[in-house]
Amino acid sequence: MTRRARIVAVSVLLAAVAIGTTLTAGAASAHAARVSADPAENAAISTGPARVSATFNEDLQTTFVAMTVVGPDGNLWSSGQPQVRGPVVSVGLRPLGPTGNYTANYRVTSADGHVVSGSWSFRLTAPGTGTPGPTADTSDTDNGDIPVWPFIVGALVLVGGAVLWQVRNRP
Ligand SMILES: [Cu+2]
């Protein structure tokens, strides 16, 4: 690689990194953020509410919403389809069973189209008489944030193309 080609390659790489960083920072600041939950995070409750809900700082889109509640036994304790109303996402809750931590997992879509996922837990302090749903499918509750690798692949393609162009057009 010539000295000039190397300089161009490094310049393009730096530009790609700068653009990628700007895009990522801009996207992150525009995401919907969870501002409260019911039951609250780490709350100790003796009976479960009829629904579990999370409230965000902006209205959510009503598409591609997922929400589950998984009990200390690894079973699903949520029931029915999650529902979005303005900035609030909620799902029905069965009468609870064993004491311990129940974790609410959610995946919603921000007004800007970005997917936001997360979870919080609350604790049941007195055993209930409810029966659980099926065993939770944990593969559906992983982090659904936008992956970074397409940006990296894009930057590599840019750099490769620039180097090739330089080499081919060398006088
Ligand atoms: Cu966003």
Instruction: List the 88-93 sheet strands across, edge first.
Output: 34-38, 51-56, 88-93, 78-85
Q: Where are the alpha helices (DSSP H) in 31-148?
A: none
Check pLDDT > 80 for residue 161: no
Distance in Å, CA 122 to ligand 1 centroid: 27
CA 31 to centroid of ligand 1, rounded, Å: 4
Starting at the edge strand found earlier in the chain, the sheet holding 100-109 runs: 44-45, 115-124, 100-109, 61-70
pLDDT of residue 129: 95
What is the rounded CA–CA span in Å between residue 163 and residue 74? 53
Token duo for residue 67: 């929400």
Tokens at 87, concatenated: 């900035």
pLDDT of residue 144: 45
> How many whole angstroms from 21 Cα to the centroid of ligand 1?
14
Give per-residue pLDDT as tens, 79-128: 999 999 999 999 999 999 999 999 999 999 999 999 999 999 999 999 99
The yes-or-no verdict on residue 142 having pLDDT over 50 is no
How far, in Å, from the CA of 118 to the mean position of ligand 1? 15
Asked if 44 and 99 touch (Cβ cutoff 8 Å), the reply is no
pTM over 0.85: no
C-alpha of residue 112 to centroid of ligand 1, in Å: 5
CA–centroid distance, 29 to ligand 1, in Å, is: 7
